[in-house]
């Protein structure tokens, strides 16, 4: 029995794809069609054909039936395809029956995304997360994957169906692997918690980039930090989270995290498996939601991102950090659209936003200022009287707050007016109990 969800696809694999839709409300847009094409190509496949198919009556045994299925079979054969992609959700039985009918390997949307993640994972942590997601997916699909079970006899009783004993053994083996992988990921969580605590003690703010896949997060990350993270115009170009130093105009050094992209119908297994990574974003001081404003599906994509964040908030019990938006790919916008977005920036917005181009660098300075304002939102002006021997407290305030003014007092002390976030003020009081801050209006 293999650990892999499907055999690793050799290159070049020729694939045919369909996007089933059932009601006018879920009829795929051109953006969704292009997204599916990008996903197939990101797997390293040659895409022979791709089309939406209106399924008027769902076939419970194989989802597709009648003319749709016959046309798909004929096209797969005509193009010598060895892979059929059904960009939707298939039950294990439907997937197995389609493979028998079509004579090629069949994967659905979840399987496709999992395979791409498997190709993209580079770090040990990334591979652990992908492997856990794959096994969770496999466990729910034993009926399809282990077809040899049909040839096994179960227990001796007359109620034991074919393959029952083998199924139980396979489930038990997978459950043991799941427990082991979850244990390994708990170690990752503990390591991340220690690193996070170190960053918090240092007082450096943490900012996380989130957004729909292919919105330009990694390109913007590279622009902001001078890093060379892999960035390419394809879905899930970046999978493993990366943390780099970011220099802010007045607050100084901060940590910037690049996260995995979100996508419509993001598989539950992936959210569960990547929770250790996504918690990094949930515990940041600020989220920068990178949006592709040149995409026609921008609003739908933004809604999908917020939906995943809301789910993470519920499952982790962590409050959602403040959010600002980077309206990316301004360089691709036609003049009329660009002017309209610029005008909307002056009106009421759910989240503060700026227009940027990660490619040209336009608007990046405005984004850095917006990040600083977001970090200082909810902060208060506080006065500190510091004696000469309290230089460590003075350095702490310069590191963790915005020092608005500093002047000597007659008694030789220094008077600092500092804009400081509430939680930072609590940290200061815990670390320097002998200093009494004075709150200002």
Containing 219, the helix (H) or strand (E) segment is helix 217-225
pTM, two decimals, is 0.70
Among residues 234, 301, 230, 225, the alpha carbon closest in space to that of 256 is found at: 225
CB 235 within 8 A of CB 35: yes
pLDDT, greater one: 275 or 62 = 62
- At residue 14, φ and ψ (nearest 5 deg) are -100, 125
Q: Decide if pLDDT at 153 tops 80.
A: no
Containing 389, the helix (H) or strand (E) segment is none
- At residue 360, φ and ψ (nearest 5 deg) are -90, -20
Give all strands of the β-sheet with 438-439 in edge-to-edge order: 402-408, 414-421, 379-386, 438-439
Q: Decide if pLDDT at 360 tops 90.
A: yes
Taking residues 95-105, report their average pLDDT: 92
CB 95 within 8 A of CB 141: yes
Name the β-bridge partners of 49: 16
Q: Which pLDDT tens digit goes with each residue over 125-139?
A: 778 878 888 888 887
Give the pLDDT confidence score for residue 201 in this predicted structure.
Answer: 57
CB 306 within 8 A of CB 341: no
Q: Can you state the percent helix, strand and coil of the chain, rounding each to 5? A: 45, 20, 35
Tokens encoding 415: 């008077």
Q: Which pLDDT tens digit goes with each residue over 71-91?
A: 999 999 999 999 999 999 898
Give the pLDDT confidence score for residue 196 in this predicted structure.
Answer: 61
Q: Share the mean pLDDT of the chain.
A: 82
Name the β-bridge partners of 279: none
Give every CB contact of residue 61 below 8 A, 6+ residues apart in sequence. 93, 94, 97
Tokens encoding 171: 């489930």
C-alpha–C-alpha distance, residues 31 and 35, integer Å: 6
Could you check whether the bond before residue 12 is cis, i.e. omega within 30 degrees of 0?
A: yes
Q: Find the farthest-apart pair of alpha carbons in the chain and give their distance in angstroms, rounded.
A: 96
Tokens encoding 196: 């996070």
Q: What percent of the chain has pLDDT over 70?
A: 82
Among residues 390, 387, 382, 439, the alpha carbon closest in space to that of 416 is found at: 382
Set out the domains of the chain in order of their start, with CATH numbers: 13-119 (3.40.50.11060), 121-184 (no CATH), 204-376 (3.40.50.300), 379-439 (3.30.70.240)
């Amino acid at each position: 029995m293999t650990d892999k969800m499907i055999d690793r696809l050799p290159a070049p694999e020729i694939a045919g794809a369909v996007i089933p839709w059932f009601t006018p409300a879920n009829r795929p847009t051109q953006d969704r069609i292009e997204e599916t094409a990008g996903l197939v190509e990101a797997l390293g496949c040659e895409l022979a054909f791709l089309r939406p198919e209106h399924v008027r009556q769902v076939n419970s045994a194989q989802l597709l039936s009648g003319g749709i299925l016959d046309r798909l079979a004929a096209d797969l054969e005509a193009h010598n395809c060895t892979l059929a992609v059904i960009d939707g959700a298939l039950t294990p039985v439907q997937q197995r029956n389609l493979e028998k009918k079509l004579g090629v390997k069949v994967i659905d949307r979840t399987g496709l995304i999992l395979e791409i993640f498997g190709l993209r994972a580079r770090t040990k942590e990334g591979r652990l997360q992908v492997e856990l997601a794959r096994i969770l997916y496999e466990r729910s699909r034993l009926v399809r994957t282990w077809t040899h079970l049909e040839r096994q006899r179960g227990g001796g009783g007359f109620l034991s169906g074919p393959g029952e004993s083998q199924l139980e053994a396979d489930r038990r083996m997978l459950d043991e692997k799941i427990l082991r992988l979850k244990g390994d990921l708990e170690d990752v969580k503990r390591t991340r918690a220690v690193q996070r605590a170190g960053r918090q003690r240092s007082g450096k703010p943490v900012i996380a980039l989130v957004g729909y896949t292919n919105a330009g997060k990694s390109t913007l990350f590279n622009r902001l930090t001078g890093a060379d993270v892999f960035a390419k115009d394809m879905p899930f170009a970046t999978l493993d989270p990366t943390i780099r130093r970011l220099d802010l105009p007045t607050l100084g050094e901060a940590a910037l995290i690049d996260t995995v992209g979100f996508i419509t119908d993001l598989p539950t297994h992936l959210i569960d498996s990547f929770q250790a990574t996504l918690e990094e974003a949930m515990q940041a001081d600020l989220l920068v939601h990178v949006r592709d404003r040149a995409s026609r599906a921008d609003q739908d994509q933004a809604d999908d991102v917020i939906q995943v964040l809301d789910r993470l908030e519920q499952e982790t019990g962590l409050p959602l950090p403040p959010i600002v938006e980077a309206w990316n790919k301004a360089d691709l916008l036609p003049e009329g659209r660009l002017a309209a977005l610029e005008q909307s920036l002056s009106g009421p917005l759910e989240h503060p936003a700026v227009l940027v181009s990660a490619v040209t660098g336009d608007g990046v300075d405005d984004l850095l200022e917006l990040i600083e304002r977001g970090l200082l939102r909810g902060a208060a002006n506080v006065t500190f009287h510091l004696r000469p021997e309290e230089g460590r407290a003075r350095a702490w305030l310069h590191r963790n707050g915005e020092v608005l003014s500093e002047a000597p007092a007659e008694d030789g002390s220094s008077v600092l007016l500092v804009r400081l976030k509430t939680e930072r003020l609590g940290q200061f009081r815990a670390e320097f109990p002998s200093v009494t801050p004075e709150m200002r209006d």
